[in-house]
């Protein structure tokens, strides 16, 4: 005798009988919620209509949100615009760490779209009210996959890398100045001239650092072909306190190495230590950008080359007192064209970047990312 297995339940419906008394309706709704099989691998979806949803939210809000958050999907049909917005607000209150997205195509979805973290409006037959009230507007619902899996992925990764790199860029020069002041009994003397500081924040690092917005860790076809790759980003590991501390440690380490190494390799004049340390600082930033790049873009290479050419031109210009209006030259062009200068700058740059690069390579082999399996 063959015994067929019991087929799984794909949905659990919470409904209210129109003829039921209020007390009986509350009891039935509570029994339906308590009967939901939480914790199972193939847990069914939860289905509610507008009347059942209003009853659950009003009288069994805590139990309803517990069951709804445990279900793989919750279908709420025949809901009013107020109920749609209320559901989004309840999710945000129950799960503060969750990021909510609301998608709608009509005017009755405006409240829900505005209540969510991210609102997506679809331009359809019901007008453009949802699209105008949303953060993002789509022509078709089928474009949602590309918006999230491709543009959303790039936006998150690029913003995370760029924001932390900007912090690193400003912190490393501050550490160099702090180490310099501590070595000379905290004398209020600036290591770098104002022109160098302004150039460092603009023309010497602006192009390479901001070219990181062109970086891609995976091709668009693979991002759409393997939606599982997006699950890695939901863990929020690329922009966190841990990554901030790592970038802070990098800036502190590199700033100390460049300044202390510049003092050790200091020769005769103060202008020499300025030239050595500032050149090592610029080269370190360029190499750090190259280390973080996952896929090179032609504009990235162009930014690197142009930055080096601009810095070389500035070395020549800032070595002339006439260019600075008769004041003392910032660089010594004869020393900076010599072999000892090149060796010292190369040693400082290698000491500040090679350990960072080695640690990144070890991290890649010890804990590879999911994306690396596609290459």
Neighbours of 71 (CB within 10 A): 19
- pLDDT computed for residue 102 by the predictor: 93
Neighbours of 214 (CB within 10 A): 16
Distance of CA 30 to the CA centre of its chain: 42
Distance CA(179)–CA(147), nearest Å, equals: 46
Residue 162 φ then ψ, to 5°:
-65, -45
- pLDDT computed for residue 146 by the predictor: 92
Distances (CA, A) of 3 to 6, 326, 373: 9, 100, 43
pLDDT band at 73 (very low <50, low <70, confident <90, very high): confident
- pLDDT computed for residue 2 by the predictor: 43
Closest CA to 220 of 146, 330, 311: 146
Beta strands in 242-351 (DSSP E): none
8 has pLDDT over 70 = no
Task: Give the predicted TM-score (pTM) of the model.
Answer: 0.80
Span 89-136, pLDDT tens digits: 999 998 888 889 999 988 889 999 999 999 999 987 777 888 889 999
Q: Comparing 9-13, 205-209, 244-248, 368-372, which segment has the lowest mean pLDDT? A: 9-13
pLDDT band at 35 (very low <50, low <70, confident <90, very high): confident
Q: Return the sign of the alpha-carbon dihedral for residues 57, 58, 59, 61.
A: positive
Assess contact for 166 and 289: CB atoms under 8 A: no
Average pLDDT over the chain reads: 85
Burial of 294 (0-12, 13-18, 19+ CB in 10 A): middle
168 has pLDDT over 60 = yes
Place of tokens 């969750």: 98
Span 310-336, pLDDT tens digits: 999 988 888 877 666 656 778 888 888
């Amino acid at each position: 005798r063959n015994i067929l297995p019991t087929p799984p339940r794909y949905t659990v419906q919470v409904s209210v009988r129109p003829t039921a008394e209020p007390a009986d309706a509350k009891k039935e709704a509570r029994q339906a919620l308590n009967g939901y099989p939480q914790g199972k691998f193939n847990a069914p979806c939860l289905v509610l209509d507008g009347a059942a949803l209003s009853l659950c939210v009003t009288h069994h809000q805590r139990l309803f949100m517990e069951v709804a958050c445990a279900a793989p999907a919750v279908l709420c049909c025949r809901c009013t615009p107020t109920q749609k917005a209320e559901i989004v607000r309840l999710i945000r209150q129950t799960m503060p760490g969750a990021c909510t997205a609301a998608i709608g195509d009509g005017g009755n979805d405006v409240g829900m779209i505005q209540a969510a973290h991210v609102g997506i409006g679809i331009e359809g037959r019901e007008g453009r009210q949802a699209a105008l009230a949303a953060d993002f507007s789509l022509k078709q619902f089928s474009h949602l996959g590309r918006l999230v899996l491709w543009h959303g992925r790039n936006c998150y990764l690029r913003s995370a890398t760029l924001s932390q790199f900007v912090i690193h860029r400003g912190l490393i020069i501050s550490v160099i100045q702090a180490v310099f002041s501590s070595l000379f009994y905290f004398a209020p003397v600036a290591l770098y001239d104002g022109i160098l500081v302004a150039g460092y924040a603009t023309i010497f690092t602006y192009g390479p650092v901001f070219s990181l917005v062109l970086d891609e860790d995976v091709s668009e076809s693979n991002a759409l072909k393997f939606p599982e790759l997006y699950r890695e980003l939901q863990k929020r590991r690329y922009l966190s306190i841990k990554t901030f501390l790592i970038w802070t440690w990098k800036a502190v380490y590199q700033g100390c190495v460049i300044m202390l190494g510049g003092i050790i390799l200091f020769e005769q004049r103060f202008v020499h230590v300025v030239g050595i340390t500032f050149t090592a600082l610029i080269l370190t930033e360029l190499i750090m950008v190259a280390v973080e790049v996952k896929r090179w873009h032609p504009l990235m290479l162009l930014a690197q080359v142009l930055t080096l050419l601009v810095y070389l031109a500035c070395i020549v210009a800032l070595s002339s007192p006439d260019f600075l209006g008769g004041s003392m030259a910032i660089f010594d062009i004869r020393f900076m064209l010599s072999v000892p200068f090149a060796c010292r700058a190369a040693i400082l740059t290698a000491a500040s970047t090679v350990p960072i690069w080695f640690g990144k390579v070890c991290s890649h082999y010890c804990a590879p990312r999911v994306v690396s399996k596609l290459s």
